[in-house]
Amino acid sequence: MSGGPLAGIRVLEVGHMLAGPYATMMLADLGAEVTKIEPPTGDISRQVSDSYFASLNRGKRSVCLDLTSVEGKAALGEMVRDAHALLVNMKPSAIHRLGLTYEALREYNEKIVCVALTGFGLHAGDDPAFDYIVQAATGVASLTGDPDGPPTLPGYSSADNSSGLTAALGLLAQIVSGRGGQVEVNLRDVMLSQLNYRAAAYLNDGVEPRRHPNGAHSFYVPAQLFPTASGWLALFITHDRFWKSFAAEAGIDGFPTMSERAAKRDEVLALVTEALKADTADSWESRLRPLGVPVAAVRTLPEALEAHPEMVVSAGGHRLVGPSIRVAGFDPFYGPPPRLGEHDPG
């Protein structure tokens, strides 16, 4: 495969910061030509740091347009004529005001796919929808942390990143359909969707989610973080054969079935906690992995990157985490992040 699976696909992006640019960068990694349309002041993420901007915009083109001007709108229309999709990551009022919807742009290209990536919906108003706000509003924060502690936010932008993934999927699905049209993705709905089995348990069985110590799973036991002689260990026993292998190595007797372990959660966790104190997290991992037991020592991000150097790529002098999709026969090229207006015509 000489080009990527999306070679020949042309995508326009009017986005800022994280969710939208992450969506289109994944498309660029797969071979799409992505043109980032920026205001004269540039994407605000350029002000954060060069590495931040590079982490979301490698391999793209940059064109500066003032979309509030007649000239800017006309230039956008010409770009839409030759594009397959436009992804917009802005407040709903700005999307409508600037004419970045399918209804406004179909006169230039009936088959253009317009993706609106917003906080709460294209017609839901402009309430601020930052990642952490959405995590709080959808129940994610209330499900995270120990039961006796405060609600906790994950240590990365899970709502923005998840919404970017979803927007890229929606964009490609509509292109595959062969029809133009409007696609909507919003952060709130994405995060509620990702609480799938938690929501189903409440909606169908009346089981309201609650937190367990050390991030424990609501049913599987033991499946959580455990302290060891040095470091923390993630142990996730979901099948009886996993338990059999673990228990033999750890010197624990009894509790052969998942239902019994769930019914006697406190007793099982006390035994497991005591057993794991006898060795370090790294040692437990090296002992249990060959037995097929789901286990991992808790690592820092620098440690994880050091353990997986194949995930680090170079893009215009920046060292970045590479894509998570690999296509047989395709060896991607990671272009540098564009300079502001680098690809302006003329």
For 145, the token pair is 């942390």
pTM above 0.85, yes or no: yes
Digit-coded pLDDT (tens) for 161-217: 999 999 999 999 999 999 999 999 999 999 999 999 999 999 999 999 999 999 999
pLDDT digits 0-9 by tens, 34-85: 999 999 999 999 999 999 999 999 999 999 999 999 999 999 999 999 999 9
Q: How far apart are CA 65 and CA 72, in angstroms?
A: 5
Where in the sequence numbering do the catalytic residues fall? Answer: 160
At 2 the pLDDT is 60
- The residues with which 232 forms a beta bridge, in sequence order, are 227
Assigned token pair, 40: 């004269």
Tell me how far apart the alpha carbons of residues 87 and 175 are, in angstroms, rounded to a whole number: 12
Write down the pLDDT at residue 346: 75
The rounded Cα 171 to chain-centroid distance in angstroms is 16
Check residue 117 and give its pLDDT: 98
**What domains does the chain contain, in order, with CATH numbers?**
10-194+311-321 (3.40.50.10540), 213-227+232-297 (3.30.1540.10)
320, 340 in Cβ contact below 8 A? no
CA separation, residue 65 to residues 41, 59, 178, 303 (Å): 10, 19, 28, 42
pLDDT of res. 218: 87
Read off the pLDDT of residues 143-154 as tens digits, 9 standing for 90 and up.
999 999 999 998
* Secondary structure of residue 34 in the 3-state scheme: strand
Output phi, psi for 258, to 5 deg: -60, -40
The beta-strand segments (E) located in 74-205 are: 85-88, 113-118, 181-186
Assigned token pair, 263: 């019914």
Separation of alpha carbons 187 and 189, rounded Å: 6
- Label residue 9 by pLDDT band (50, 70, 90): very high
At 174 the three-state DSSP class reads helix
Cβ atoms of 284 and 26 closer than 8 Å = no
CA of 228: how far to CAs of 182, 240, 246, 268, 272, in Å? 52, 23, 15, 16, 10
